[in-house]
Amino acid sequence: MPEPTLPTPPDADPDWLAWLPPRLVALDVETTGLAETDRVVSFGAVVLTTASLVAGRPEIACHHLIFDPGRASHPMAEAVHGYDDWLLRHQEPAGRHAGALADLLAGADLVVAHNAAFDLGFVNRELREAGLPPVAAKVYCTMEAYRRRGEKGRAALDAVCRRIGLRRVGARHGALEDAWLALRAYLWLQACPVAVARPRLADPTNLRPAPPRPDGPLPPRG
């Protein structure tokens, strides 16, 4: 009498999934400058449900916002992010969205950023200005992790992207694209072989059109 056929056990999860958090948020901010008095201009985040990587169809959600920082950007910062003061002064302040940002980050098992001390420093400053507590989630800095690997050369995001075969769409830094690049760097550092496709790099979802720019110097901010 033949032995009964046993059901085939499901495939085991890959090793790399065991050390990934269930839900991670990769983020980036663009700012008016580098000083403690500077503010956030734009915020980008890519939320990944890591279990979806196993099937090869990563489930992500994107968040892309622009704010009026209440001050003009330093010329070098404006050259990086590309938003001039006339456009920015017609946007909503970051405080209008601070609660939503706090909720987004509170639901993360891990927050990922490249040069996390910079990005989280600015995010926490905006939360503090809105009377909210700082981000409490565990934070992973891809820049520091890349350095710990002993990789040669610079650890800036562009350099890391070249190392792993990625590049920006254009010359400007966008918060959403940089959040996605940080996510890709994190997955590479974790030896995850599944690629997350570049999201559609649309304008911030809360972007308000500015009226025609006046001739000559801009009037003082009210």
| Mean pLDDT (whole number) for 61-68 | 98
Task: Compute the mean pLDDT over every residue in the chain, rounded to the nearest whole number.
Answer: 92
Q: Is residue 60, in this structure, part of any structural domain at all?
A: yes
Q: Which CATH number covers residue 153? A: 3.30.420.10
Instruction: Kindly tell me if the per-residue pLDDT of 90 is higher than 60.
Output: yes
Structural domain including 83 reads 19-190
Task: Give the residues across from 28 on adjacent strands.
Answer: 44
- As for how many domains the chain has, the answer is 1
Q: Report the pLDDT value the prediction gives residue 55, as an integer from 0 to 100.
A: 87
In a domain, residue 101? The reply is yes
Residue 213 covered by a domain: no
Q: What span, in angstroms and rounded, lies between the C-alpha atoms of 39 and 196?
A: 30
The model carries a pTM of 0.91
**Residue 6 within a domain:** no
| Main-chain dihedrals φ then ψ at residue 109, nearest 5 degrees | -80, -25
* pLDDT at residue 171, rounded to an integer: 80
Higher pLDDT, 8 or 34: 34
- What is the rounded distance in angstroms from the CA atom of residue 149 to the CA atom of residue 145? 7
User: Can you tell me which residue has the tokens 């070098």?
Assistant: 76
Q: Is the pLDDT of residue 7 over 50?
A: no
DSSP string, 33-49: -SSTT--EEEEEEEEEE
Q: Where residue 11 falls among pLDDT bands split at 50, 70, 90?
A: low
Q: Tell me whether residue 199 is in a domain.
A: no
Give me the pLDDT at residue 12, please: 65
Q: Is residue 180 part of a domain?
A: yes
Report if residue 77 sits inside a domain: yes
- Which tokens hold the place of 94? 């970051």
In which band, very low, low, confident or very high, does the pLDDT at 8 lie, cut at 50, 70 and 90?
very low
Within a domain: residue 219?
no
For residue 28, what is the DSSP state?
E
Contacts of 148 (CB under 8 A, 6+ apart): none
Residue 4 scores a pLDDT above 80? no
> Over 90: is that where the pLDDT of 187 sits?
yes
Confirm if 46 and 180 have CB atoms less than 8 A apart: yes
